[in-house]
Structure 1
Amino acid sequence: MYEIIKGIHSGWAYIAFLLLVIASVNSFIGLFSKKEFTEKDRKISLFALAAIHTQLLIGFIIYFVSPLGFSSLGQMKDAALRLTSLEHPLMNIIGITLITIGWMKHKKLTTSESKFKTFSIYYGLGLVIILSKIPWGLWF
């Protein structure tokens, strides 16, 4: 069971990461080119939000069934265990929270520039935070 969930979590991470990068780049392009915020831009951001939330749900499942997750919280002297049991989940929750806040804030804004700016800041920060704690050694 653990290996299947781990495979799903790892595979879906590529999709979620790609969509988040596309949404972040799209928001920066829209901001700097001063283009109009369209339905396409909204959908790109929404797909990234949905993908990253799906990854979070899969991550919660794996956290509680993995021998490297919740059950190893008491072993903080081991850097690899600390990364998988504390740092990776916590920082990803913070990053996903920022992305979600960006999505919620954009709905109240009326100008294209402010929407792109909001997405650039919140999705960009979320992406950086998520990238900072990906267990790269387990990914490749």
Structure 2
Amino acid sequence: MYTFVQKFHSGWAYLALLLLVFAVVNSFLGKSSKREFTAKDRRIALFGLIATHIQLVVGLILYFVSPLGSASIGQMAESDVRLTWLEHPLINIIAIILITVGWSKHKKAATSEAKFNSIFIFYGLGLLLILSRIPWKLWF
């Protein structure tokens, strides 16, 4: 089970990042061109939100079923272990909270510009945080 969850978490990350980048770029283009916020724009942001939440749930499952967890606690001084077991989960939870806040703020916004702006800012910050804490050595 651990191997399946680990591979799913790694594979789903590509889709989640792609959808998140697409949502950020779409909101930037919508904001800069001053177009109306449509149902298509809403769906793009929603798919980014859903993909990141699925990634979070799978990541939390992986974190708690991993056979490496208890052995790694004493090795937090090593940067790779600290990244994998502390920084990656913590920063990504914060990033997904920001993405969720962006989704909530866009729903309350009255104008298209405000909707695009909240998605661009909060999803963009979330994307930057996620990219900063990906364990790149394990990914490639």
Question: Would you tell me which structure has more helix in proportion to its own residues?
Answer: 2
The alpha-carbon distance between structure 1 residues 43 and 30, as it changes in their structure 2 partners (threshold 3 A), is same
Equivalent residue number for residue 4 of structure 1: 4
**Structure-1 separation of matches of 2:113 and 2:89:** 32
Instruction: Give the number of aligned pairs.
Output: 140
Following TM superposition, by how much is the alpha carbon of 1:72 offset from its aligned partner in structure 2, in angstroms? 2.2
Partner of 1:115: 115
Q: Partner of 2:21 in structure 1?
A: 21
| Deviations 1:49-89, CA, capped at 9 Å, x for gaps | 00000000000000011244465233211111100100000
Write the distance in 2 (CA, Å) between the matches of 1:53 and 1:94.
12
Question: Structure 2 regions of 5+ residues with no counterpart?
Answer: none
Listed as ranges, the gaps of 5+ residues in structure 1 are none
**What secondary structure, in the 3-state scheme, does the structure 2 residue paired with 1:46 have?**
helix
Deviates more, 1:58-67 or 1:121-130: 58-67
CA distance in 1, matches of 2:69, 2:59: 10
Q: Deviations over 1:23-45 (max 9, x none)?
A: 00000001111111000000000
Aligned to 1:46: 46
Q: TM-score, normalised by structure 1?
A: 0.96
What amino acid is the match of 2:104? M
Task: Provide Cα deviations, 1:70-113, integer angstroms capped at 9, x if missing partner.
Answer: 65233211111100100000000010000000001111111000
- CA gap of 1:92–1:124, structure 2 versus 1, over 3 A, is same
**Identity in percent:** 64
Of stretches 116-125 and 61-70 in structure 1, the one that deviates more from structure 2 is: 61-70
Counterpart in the other structure of 2:64: 64
What do you get for the CA RMSD once the two structures are aligned? 1.1
| Structure-2 change in CA distance of 1:71 and 1:103 (3 Å) | farther
